[in-house]
Amino acid sequence: GLESRGFIYGAALSAATNIGFVPIRKPGKLPAEVVSVDYDLEYGSDTIEMHKDAIKPGQKVLIVDDLLATGGTATAASKLIKKVGGVVSAAVFFVELTTLGGRQKLESDGIRVMSMLQYDLD
């Protein structure tokens, strides 16, 4: 689940399916040893972190967040997961802003994308 609204959907999905939940957070929020990824945003740059031992090599992971816009944060999360040897199975979002190209960015990295609601901003 991606910081921070992704925690709501990710934790609920985790509980409903009886699978683990891994929070991906902004720097300095996690208590144990972390791995991090820096990434660019349309208005600057940012960093996300995850516990180093949260995902085992070869483990399949589902990225969960509330909103897919440009895909920058989800792409960074994918890089973070791959950095520790995880395999991104797919990414799911509650809302997708279709005109911002996030789906295409993720799909070009081989990530299957699903969203419940799609909005065209044109």
Catalytic positions, written as ranges: 5, 42
With CA atoms as reference, report the closest residue to 111 among 84, 85, 76, 83.
76
Residue with tokens 């144990």: 32
**Which residue matches tokens 């816009």?**
69
Strand-pair partners of 19: none
Q: Which of 63, 52, 40 has its CA nearest to residue 115? A: 63
Q: What are phi and psi of 100, to 5 degrees?
A: -95, -5
